[in-house]
Amino acid sequence: MATEARPFHLVVLGASGFTGQFVAQEVAREQVVPEQSPRLPWAVAGRSREKLQRVLERAALKLGRPTLPSEVGIIICDITNPASLDEMAKQAAVVLNCVGPYRFYGEPVVKACIENGTSCIDICGEPQAL
């Protein structure tokens, strides 16, 4: 569960990308399961606040959850800016990395997570990155 030091249990990094949009929507869908109580605090992360906001708005519309955009945090960070990745990692217990291709962009995320004591999961299926 999130703590004051880490306000989000999960952060979906790259949520405005092709795959990240679907991942964010599925996380949102799982948060409406009635048996789950309380909901896990989570956020989306990426370079553009506007794009991340649109992802949340589309998911809200598709799931019939108009309050979704106000329930999910937004973190602005850039894969080419290690300090911003550190700040993102410090806010999460787990980072789900949807930024690809991983052979080019995976290592900085893993590094930020390791250095900040954050668990990291990626959806990589690229043999070159494994």
DSSP states along 31-48:
TT-TT--SPPPEEEEES-
Q: Which domain holds residue 62?
A: 11-129
Residue 39 forms part of a structural domain: yes
CB 43 within 8 A of CB 24: no
Kindly report the length of the chain: 130
Note the pLDDT of residue 50.
98
Q: Domain for residue 5, yes or no?
A: no
Q: Residue 63 falls within a domain, yes or no?
A: yes
Residue 52 lies in a domain: yes
Residue 5: other Cβ atoms inside 10 A? 9
Give me the phi and psi of 110, to 5 degrees please: -60, -45
In a domain, 117, yes or no: yes
Over residues 3-15, the mean pLDDT reads 89
pLDDT given for residue 122 in this prediction: 86
Q: What is the mean pLDDT of the chain?
A: 89
**pLDDT at res. 129:** 54
Number of compact structural domains in the chain = 1
Report, as an integer, the average pLDDT of 25-36. 78
Residue 108 lies in a domain: yes
60 belongs to a structural domain = yes
Q: Is 1's pLDDT higher than 60?
A: no
| CATH number reported for the structural domain that contains residue 87 in this entry | 3.40.50.720
Q: Is residue 41 part of a domain?
A: yes
Q: Which amino acid is present at 14?
A: G
Banded model confidence at residue 78, pLDDT cuts 50, 70, 90: very high
Q: Where is average pLDDT lowest: 28-32, 58-62, 68-72?
A: 28-32
